Amino acid sequence: MKKILSLLLIVMIFAVPVSSQEETQLTKAGTTPDSLFYFLDTAMEKISLAMTFNANTKAEKRLEIAEERLSEVKEMALKGEIKAMTKAEEGHKKLLMKVQEKIEMSDDSEMKSELEMKFQSHNERISEVKNELKIKIEFEGEITEEQQVLVDSIMANIENQAGEIEIKIKNKRGESEIEIEYESEDEMDDDSEEGRDDDMFEVDTKIFVLEGVNYAFFMDGEEMPELKVDKGDTVRIEFTSSQGFHDFVIDEFNVATERVSDGGSTFVEFVADTEGIFEYYCSVGQHRANGMKGNLIVE
């Protein structure tokens, strides 16, 4: 038995790529969690990660492996293998948490920017898998109603976790950029402040306190309220989720709060410098498609 294990270990070591420049796209599921040999697949991944010494490369590799876990989740869902699906989901979660830890510890804004883009791609893939599962299970799947509920719940967990981490990356990168901006401002001569017209900086601030539930926004009891402001106003959105996992987004003004769950609160400020009617919405999952949206009117 010891000889067999030793032989397997040697095979695994030599099967691991040694070139850090060679990218491996792990978008398809190999050995799935319902297989007796799944432990060999995950063991090889751990060895590969251990032999990757560059922290940034390791974070990217974890994201690639997370894509494989996602493919495993999809395959197990179609088979109705909920226990195996949960196992793949747990592996996916651990990988993303490791990437998040790396981001929080790093001061490399360029790395954070690259990982943010990769997370965006990964989140798009999660949405694709979710939609594919919905269609395939409806027309081809042979799973029970109870299994369908569990599949939906697991996919929601995956979507929510990845969404939260993407927001944290964006916020963390934003904090770094603000610090750099402040440092640059501190280096400026005080003389550069002369000649400023302080009246140019006097603007009104319009504050809107919104509440999010499944699938609607409320303000003072009004569902999907119209938010009216004047051009040039500073707008402050104070947002609380009373039910579910939500955010507040307006694409045209590059506005997006962090995503918050039951009882969570956040806010965002921006300048409404363009006249028109702009849609605000919740970007989580299919919430926008389910009607969680309203209008900001800038006059």
Q: How far apart are CA 243 and CA 260, in angstroms?
A: 10
3-class DSSP assignment, residue 239: strand
Distances (CA, A) of 232 to 62, 206, 226, 251, 258: 44, 11, 18, 17, 24
Q: How far apart are CA 275 and CA 272, in angstroms?
A: 8
3-class DSSP assignment, residue 35: coil
* Strands 205-213 vs 234-241: parallel, antiparallel or unpaired: parallel
**What pLDDT, on the 0 to 100 scale, is given for residue 192?**
44
pTM (2 decimals)? Answer: 0.49
Residue ranges of domains in the chain? 2-183, 200-298
What is the widest separation between alpha-carbon atoms in the chain? 83
CB of 127 closer than 8 Å to CB of 97:
no
CB of 226 closer than 8 Å to CB of 208:
no
Q: Is the peptide bond before 215 cis (omega within 30 degrees of 0)?
A: yes
Q: Provide the residue-wise pLDDT of the chain in tens; the chain has 299 residues.
A: 544 445 444 444 444 443 333 333 435 777 888 888 888 888 898 898 889 888 778 888 888 888 888 888 888 888 888 888 888 888 888 888 887 777 667 677 777 777 777 777 887 888 888 788 877 777 666 677 778 788 888 888 787 777 777 666 666 555 555 454 545 445 544 444 444 444 433 446 789 999 999 889 999 889 999 999 999 889 999 999 988 899 999 999 999 998 988 888 889 999 999 999 999 999 998 899 999 999 999 99
Instruction: Dig out the tokens for 228 from the structure.
Output: 């009216």
Q: How far apart are CA 25 and CA 118, in angstroms?
A: 13
DSSP one-letter string for 53-107: --HHHHHHHHHHHHHHHHHHHHHHHHHT-HHHHHHHHHHHHHHHHHHHHHHHH--
CB of 84 closer than 8 Å to CB of 76:
yes
Give the residue from 131, 141, 145, 124 showing the smallest Cα distance to 63: 124
CATH topology of domain 200-298: Immunoglobulin-like (2.60.40)
CB of 270 closer than 8 Å to CB of 298:
no
**What pLDDT, on the 0 to 100 scale, is given for residue 14?**
41
Give the residue from 54, 131, 118, 122 showing the smallest Cα distance to 92: 122
CB of 133 closer than 8 Å to CB of 155:
yes
Q: Give Cβ neighbours of residue 64 (< 8 Å, ≥ 6 apart).
A: 23, 24, 25, 26
- Residues linked to residue 280 through DSSP beta bridges, in sequence order: 294
Q: Rounded to 5 degrees, what are φ and ψ at 196?
A: -70, 140
